[in-house]
Structure 1
Amino acid sequence: MDFEQFVLANEPAIRLGFFLGVFAVIASWELLAPRRALTVSKTLRWASNLGLVVLNTVVLRLLFPLAGAGMALFCAEQGWGLLNHFQVPMLIAIPLAVVAMDFVIWLQHVMVHAVPALWRLHRVHHADRDFDVTTGARFHPFEIILSMLIKFATIVVLGAPVVAVVIFEVMLNATAMFNHGNIRLPAALDRVLRWVLVTPDMHRVHHSIEDDETNSNFGFNLTWWDRLLGTYREQPHAGQIGMTIGIRDHRNPQEVARLDGMLLLPFRGEIKNYAINRRSFMDPPREE
């Protein structure tokens, strides 16, 4: 068994191990030194958010048994994708594929904020009235399925190596838990990390109730895309402690903190100031 086959065979255990390890570290950090006071029962939120994680995991394993790593192996065997076609050396192909997939996830994140039907799904993530490690995995099953299909398409086009796909998935899960953590980094460390990695204070801005702040800082892992493409916001108007987390039209804990409420949320209400192209602050000034 070569290294890629070993990684593929042990992919679920590798991902689960990193997930549990990072979750334990961030959850303990939050307990010992929380950045903000919570507004909704932690027991209710954690039961619902983690229940959604379990549901999504079951759905993905039923629909896509081999997940992204299996698709990467299939593409390698068929010679599909740019990296396979040009036979790019692994030392170059792996980091190139990881960075390219991160950019696609950034584009996907912008898309789910811009398209009304997709924002209906994605607002399940944003409707959480608190911001902690469990928020990082709080996504509607339909959005999770869409995300997996986009990953499959990206892997096919790139010809991403199996190892690169597993590294990317582990990094994505780990950084999502880290940058959604209700934790505080020393200011100097936060400034340094922000040149490469999304920090909790940086991503918390994205979960603000204010439209212009919600539609900024789309990155989960690398900060380069927000900086290069003009969507970077350093701090919220009200400050990290004073800002309000969530969505204006969905504040009822029974709707946004219970599992059944989250699953039904995409089918409720109208989409008004949903995203990017309908924000009031982008409207041109009226002539007097």
Structure 2
Amino acid sequence: MQDGSLIRLSVFVSILALMTLWQTLAPARSTSVAPRQRWLSNFGLMVMGALLARLAVPAGLAGLAFNLQQQHWGLFNLTQWPLWLEVIVGLLILDCAIYWQHRLFHVVPFLWRFHRVHHADPHVDVSTGVRFHPLEILLSLLIKMAVVALFGIAPLTILMFEVILNATSLFNHTNVRLPGWLERPLRWLIVTQAMHRIHHSQRPVETNSNYGFNLSVWDRLFGSYTHRARLGDSGVQLGLRQYPKTENNTSLKALLLMPFRR
């Protein structure tokens, strides 16, 4: 388990450093929002969410999966699957579950209270990829635990998925713009920055689309795909209208209290 945590942390730090350098050298959009305040708040949320998840489930999802394996609990633990097939199917199940979880957090008003902390960011960059309220992290963990228990997903699959999910969240929130010849075919497979910026639009019809975090197939398959924002990628107005670009809406305290205020 310690090796798994080290792998996740190493990949996270490496991708974070690479994406930060990329958006610094070639930013897609400029912003008037003070980056220092935003980054302190966004990464503060990340640290608090990680600590809360560790307190709630000390062994993590991989530890839960290991215990379920020993007890022969869940679909994969009751049947014989080739390891390669079990990993592929398990990754697809988890990615699809994250898609529906994300969609659920937009539809259910109680859950949206927490998820709007993520969408209230007035600028989208790599730090937005870790900006989630700690209680949303906890709720997400409970949903993933249910999926892992139901299907008996292996610890190896979970480790791979957590590494991929963290990396893609940093990637598709990064403030860069891929060239069209690369972005167009790439978004048939994975969620690109331009595709995900549409999801952060202030227009509700655009916000309530492009829910995928990793694979883009789910949005196409379940009818939530938006190919292009009405005003184009450079014209998308980011954030939420009810949370303007002020320090009162970007401080860590304000973000923590946001779900509990009208």
* C-alpha contact 1:255 1:265 (8 A) present in aligned 2: no
Q: Which residue of 2 aligns with 1:16?
A: 9
Q: Which residue of 2 aligns with 1:164?
A: 157
Instruction: Say yes or no: does 1:195 pair with 2:182.
Output: no
CA distance in 2, matches of 1:144, 1:174: 16
Unaligned runs of 5+ in 2: none
Give, in angstroms, the shift of residue 90 of structure 1: 1.0
CA distance in 2, matches of 1:252, 1:130: 9
Q: Which residue of 1 aligns with 2:75?
A: 82
Q: Deviations over 1:235-278 (max 9, x none)?
A: 11111111110111111422331100100100111xxxxxxxxx
Q: Deviations over 1:207-250 (max 9, x none)?
A: 00000000000000000110011110111111111111011111
Instruction: Say yes or no: does 1:123 pair with 2:126.
Output: no
Q: Which residue of 2 aligns with 1:5?
A: none
Residue correspondence of structure 1 range 139-288 to structure 2 within 5 A: 139-269=132-262
Deviates more, 1:78-87 or 1:206-215: 78-87
CA distance in 1, matches of 2:204, 2:71: 45
Give, in angstroms, the shift of residue 82 of structure 1: 0.5
CA distance in 1, matches of 2:32, 2:108: 30
* C-alpha contact 1:124 1:256 (8 A) present in aligned 2: no
Unaligned runs of 5+ in 1: 1-7, 270-288
Aligned residues: 262
Match 1:67 to one of 36, 40, 60 = 60
Q: Deviations over 1:141-174 (max 9, x none)?
A: 1100000011111000111111100000000000
Letter in 1 for 2:138: I
Q: Deviations over 1:18-50 (max 9, x none)?
A: 100000000000100000002310011011101
Query: What secondary structure is seen at the aligned counterpart in 2 of 1:105?
Result: helix
Query: What secondary structure is seen at the aligned counterpart in 2 of 1:235?
Result: coil
Match 1:138 to one of 131, 135, 138 = 131
* C-alpha contact 2:197 2:236 (8 A) present in aligned 1: no
* TM-score normalised per structure 2: 0.98
* TM-score normalised per structure 1: 0.89
* C-alpha contact 1:209 1:244 (8 A) present in aligned 2: yes
CA distance in 2, matches of 1:237, 1:229: 21
* C-alpha contact 1:129 1:256 (8 A) present in aligned 2: no
Q: Which residue of 2 aligns with 1:286?
A: none
* C-alpha contact 2:46 2:134 (8 A) present in aligned 1: no
CA distance in 2, matches of 1:47, 1:57: 15
Deviates more, 1:120-129 or 1:58-67: 58-67
The two structures, once aligned, show a CA RMSD in angstroms of 0.9
Letter in 1 for 2:100: L
Q: Which residue of 2 aligns with 1:50?
A: 43
* Identical pairs, percent: 45
Deviates more, 1:67-76 or 1:122-131: 67-76
CA distance in 2, matches of 1:246, 1:255: 15
* C-alpha contact 1:39 1:129 (8 A) present in aligned 2: no
Please say which structure displays the higher CA radius of gyration.
Answer: 1
CA distance in 2, matches of 1:203, 1:177: 11
Instruction: Say yes or no: does 1:36 pair with 2:29.
Output: yes
CA distance in 2, matches of 1:16, 1:81: 28
Give, in angstroms, the shift of residue 101 of structure 1: 0.4
